[in-house]
Structure 1
Amino acid sequence: MKTLELDSLAPIYGGMCLSRLDGVVFIKGAIPGEKVLAEVKEIRRDYSIAEAVEILNGSTDRVTPRCRVYGMCGGCHYQHISYERQLSLKEEIVADCLRRIAKIDIPIAGTIFGGQWNYRRKVQFKLSSVSGGAAPTIGFYRENTRDIVAVDECALLHGTLNRFLAKLKGARFLNGVREIHMLTGGNTVAFLKGPDVDEAKLEFLLDIGFDGAVAALAPDYQRTHAAGDSHCQLSIGDNGGQGISYTVSPQGFFQSNWELNQVLVETVKELLGDVSGKRVIDVYGGAGNFSLGLSKTAKEITIVEDNPYSAADGARNIAQNNIHNISYITKSFETIRENKTYDVVIVDPPRIGLTKAAVERLLSLKAETIAYISCNPSTFARDAARLQPGYTPSSVRLIDMFPNTYHCEVLGIFRST
């Protein structure tokens, strides 16, 4: 055990805080400015990792976590911090990454946020392996392990998903299922994985009142069983009930905080300005989250997406909305060799950010504007540095897509120089 006082301005991306009082120590469960009694859990060559076990001088931003398994389940990191302070911490983290990594000093303005609780419309429940006819444990992985923490209710999940979690608990019939992936929107879709997945288990889900479709995938990832519509039904925008129809399959990708995603889509449109008559390329474009709305004014849009499920979702969305100026390239962005230039680029890469080859390809497009949506401020800052001197950011803002976690969604608008 050691007493540690945290540096007042040292939140660290990853849910920890930094103390330099006795070497470099990353501390879980504390807030910048606090004095804590911490237990060192791991000693590495250049730093240590510790966990706060007693708060000696607490922050006024400290609150009581809502979840009874907070600190055991690996899903949340910030429930002990007031939501207002969560937002300011994340803004500080984004700004710090840009200063340290990209040498860019720009204000983080216009943070976008919504409800703190019950926002997730997508979940992966983990189920234990049991014998003797007992019901499997249903919950989430303990942080950095494959041990399952039983969960009765998750404060981040949409109410529909929590209601089905309550129905699934204690179900011996689910033996042989290892994961249940669920999406909810206008309907609810379940996707089962495990060594014993069959039609009988789908019937069980229907019998307990499953509202919508169910789909199951066999261990070979090929054989699929379905009842009803196996795509989750959503919409982008409203426009007096005339929103864009949007569907997604369980194997595809969509933003689980759908309400805030709607705000993000509109914000990207506003910041890009008038795209009338312009060519747009949407890299890692998924099922058309950003492109579908822009298609009403853009001259043409190319979506680059090598996930076959997301590309299939996108093709379905294009057809359902009777759109004729969007086309797909279903291979990796780095391998594209066409010589087209584009006016606008939208890029929404995975957490690892852009490869060097992707940055080179991006620069070769010679676009006027790049809208970069990132789920990792460190790789966002690294890529912002790589885009210089060809592009400079005109605005950077935080989108708090995942309240009560350390995850930071970042939107940067880059203009050619």
Structure 2
Amino acid sequence: MPLTLKIEKMVYGGYGLARTGSGVVFVRDVLPGEVVDAEIESTANGSRYAYPQKVLESSPARREPRCRYSGECGGCDWLYIDYSEQLRCKKEIFEDCFRRIGKQEIPEPQLFHSPEFAYRIRAQIKVGEKGAGFFRKKTNSLVNISDCPLLSDPLNILLKNDLAGILKPEKTLNLKVISGEKRTASFPVLKGLTFDKTEIRAGGNLFEVNGNSFFQSNQFLLEQMGLWAINDAEGGRCIDLYGGVGFFSVMLGKKIDSLILVESQRENIREASRNFALNGLSNCKAIHGEVENVAGSITSEPDFLIIDPPRPGLTSKAREAVFALRPKKILYISCNPSTQARDAQYFTKQCGYKICKVAL
């Protein structure tokens, strides 16, 4: 039986939150202020999740998605929301996480701006026996697509090829792709279509990455984000934890005296070392190992510390290892505001740090 719900706000995960006499409901494909008839589709950890059967009162920020696969493909979530409202909702979600989980207020965030479409240079395309695309929402069922408004032009060109015919997968596989200045790299490599490596420029620096590398996805924010991140660093020693292929280290390299990058994936270590060499950064070196184990062997107190952990954030041991380094300044980069807020609470409430500026 449908529930009539009033959407209060957006929360992490892209859901709208509604309150009922029996608790909250998380509703997908809605906007703040909307009234919808919704059907419960799943429960998890005591929470109920629903989808809207009918929008009774629509938000003025609702629009027709610029994608023929919208509502079917699970590759993205918010194409039905006006872009300015998307940014407002993201800011609200971010602040709510720090208020609710981190138990603190934060400075007014600076918002990075990007073109709304054709921005993604990195993607994981699902390739099945009969086509390629992305999974339906909450399933492992493949939706075949021939184009995506969020992908860069080179990636859309790649999508138009018969990827299923080329790869001939016995089961759905994950094709990792990244488009650079002159060519597209992928893992696995597609003979005649992609290469094992490509090059990307940002902030006057050159980065060589392979198809399996983790790299920032938005081509229009690379330079904005990188320059903002290093603005407060000048001279001294720096440590870059979870440093990946060295994006932030390279951006920072010419501004500081010395830098140590710590990374657990050996392939990323090789890429980072290569990127240091490409940019003439003899003052930077990459160390292989887990942050929890390696950080303790670094004795110098850094002037600047970068943390860019995976989505689950820092382990308790990693938090302690970071604090033991006694860095003067910490730059924490994250794609998950809930775990970032949790970790920030540790550094501010238990270690005496203060949040000075924020951007998203």
What band does the TM-score fall into relative to the shorter chain? over 0.9
Q: Which of 163, 169, 181 is the aligned partner of 1:176? A: 169
The offset of 1:394, in angstroms, is 0.9
TM-score where L is the length of structure 2: 0.93
Kept after mapping to 2: 8 A contact 1:249/1:310: no
- 1:222 match: none
- 1:142 match: 136
Deviation sequence 1:147-206 (CA, Å, 0-9, x none): 11011211110011111211236x63432373332211113334355xxx9xxx62xxx2
AA aligned to 2:315 is T
Q: Is the aligned partner of 1:295 residue 2:294?
A: no
- 1:258 match: 219
Kept after mapping to 2: 8 A contact 1:252/1:307: no
Q: What is the number of equivalent residue pairs in this alignment?
A: 353
Residue 309 to residue 45, structure 1, CA distance change in 2 (3 Å):
closer
- 1:406 match: none
Alignment of 1:34-183 (within 5 A): 34-43=34-43, 46-129=46-129, 136-168=130-162, 172-176=165-169, 178-183=173-178
Give me the identity figure in percent: 34
- 1:394 match: 356
Kept after mapping to 2: 8 A contact 1:95/1:107: no
AA aligned to 1:174 is L
Kept after mapping to 1: 8 A contact 2:154/2:184: no
CA distance in 2, matches of 1:33, 1:256: 31
The offset of 1:7, in angstroms, is 4.0
Q: Which of 314, 322, 329 is the aligned partner of 2:287? A: 329
Alignment of 1:171-320 (within 5 A): 172-176=165-169, 178-193=173-188, 202=191, 206=192, 210=193, 213-214=194-195, 230-237=196-203, 243-270=204-231, 272-273=232-233, 275-276=234-235, 278-320=236-278
CA distance in 2, matches of 1:45, 1:90: 24
Residue 192 to residue 296, structure 1, CA distance change in 2 (3 Å):
closer
Deviation sequence 1:120-151 (CA, Å, 0-9, x none): 1112221223xxxxxx2111111222211011
CA distance in 2, matches of 1:48, 1:94: 22
CA distance in 1, matches of 2:209, 2:28: 36
The offset of 1:251, in angstroms, is 1.8
Residue 173 to residue 374, structure 1, CA distance change in 2 (3 Å):
closer
CA distance in 2, matches of 1:370, 1:2: 48
Worse-matched range after superposition: 357-366 or 142-151: 142-151
Worse-matched range after superposition: 290-299 or 301-310: 290-299
Structure 1 stretches of 5 or more lacking a match? 130-135, 215-229, 238-242, 399-417
Q: Which of 336, 350, 368 is the aligned partner of 2:328? A: 368
CA RMSD of aligned residues (A): 1.8
The offset of 1:3, in angstroms, is 3.9
AA aligned to 1:232 is T
Residue 363 to residue 48, structure 1, CA distance change in 2 (3 Å):
same
Higher RCO (CA-CA < 8 Å; seq separation 6+): 1
AA aligned to 2:353 is Y
CA distance in 2, matches of 1:124, 1:45: 28
CA distance in 1, matches of 2:255, 2:123: 35
The offset of 1:284, in angstroms, is 0.9
Deviation sequence 1:272-317 (CA, Å, 0-9, x none): 24x12x1000111111111113221311000011111111111111
- 1:347 match: 307
Structure 2 stretches of 5 or more lacking a match? none
The offset of 1:72, in angstroms, is 2.2
CA distance in 2, matches of 1:377, 1:350: 12
